């Protein structure tokens, strides 16, 4: 009968940890782990005029990834800009070739001031893009 030794338990734990890390994508190139690539705000940065928040992404997952964007001032969310979904790519893998795309949200601000536009994936709030904008009075 096989005897379970502390060394054997340690070996099995190390193997299990290594397999789990591979399955989760730990240690792989981060550009394949974060779907949001870049963000820009276009349009006239003037009170009452419509701007556009444009997100580019690189999808490497077979499941949908939710995205949300907010407008912040002084660290507080003052407006929900929008929510969307990056469609999963059947058969995609974190180490595979990404599928690129864009998502856009309209943005109108009703007061002049300095703001931060922040977009993130709620399932991984570390996957966040942000930029500051100044909106002028007309």
Rounded CA-CA distance 114/131 in Å is: 11
Tell me phi and psi for residue 16, to 5 degrees: -65, -40
- Read off the pLDDT of residues 19-58 as tens digits, 9 standing for 90 and up: 444 444 443 433 435 789 999 999 999 999 999 999 999 9
Q: What pLDDT does 29 receive?
A: 39
- How far apart are alpha carbons 114 and 73 in whole angstroms? 7
The Cα 57–Cα 101 span in angstroms is 5
pLDDT level of residue 138 (50, 70, 90 thresholds): confident
Top-confidence residue, 21 or 71: 71
Rounded to an integer, the average pLDDT of 47-75 is 96
Q: Name the pTM for this structure.
A: 0.73
Mean pLDDT, the chain, integer? 84
| pLDDT (0 to 100) of residue 4 | 74
Say how many CA atoms lie within 13 Å of 110 toward its Cβ: 2
pLDDT digits (tens, 9 = 90+) for 85-120: 999 999 988 888 999 999 999 999 999 999 999 999
Residue whose structure tokens are 């001032």: 73
Sign of CA pseudo-dihedral 80, 57, 64, 18: negative
Strands (E), the chain: 36-42, 51-59, 65-73, 76-86, 99-107, 113-121, 124-135
d(Cα 99, Cα 124) in Å, to the nearest integer? 19
Percent of the chain clearing pLDDT 90 (strictly above): 64
- What is the per-residue pLDDT across 8-18, written as a single tens digit (0 to 9) for each? 555 554 444 44
Instruction: Give CA separation, 100 vs 35, 38, 97, 106, 120, in Å.
Output: 9, 11, 9, 21, 17
| pLDDT at residue 94, as a whole number | 84
The domains located in the chain, with CATH, are 30-135 (2.60.40.10)
């Amino acid at each position: 009968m096989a005897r379970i030794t502390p060394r054997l338990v340690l070996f099995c734990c190390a193997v299990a940890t290594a397999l789990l890390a591979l399955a989760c994508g730990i240690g792989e190139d981060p550009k394949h782990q974060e779907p949001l690539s870049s963000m820009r705000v276009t349009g006239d940065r003037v009170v009452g005029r419509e701007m556009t928040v444009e997100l580019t992404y690189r999808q490497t997952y077979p499941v949908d990834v939710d995205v949300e964007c907010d407008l912040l001032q002084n660290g507080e969310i003052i407006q929900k800009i929008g929510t969307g979904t990056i469609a999963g790519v059947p058969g995609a893998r974190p180490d595979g070739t990404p599928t690129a795309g864009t998502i856009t949200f309209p943005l109108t601000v009703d007061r002049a001031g300095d703001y931060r536009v922040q977009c993130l994936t709620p399932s991984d709030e570390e996957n966040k893009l942000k930029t500051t904008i100044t909106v002028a009075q007309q």
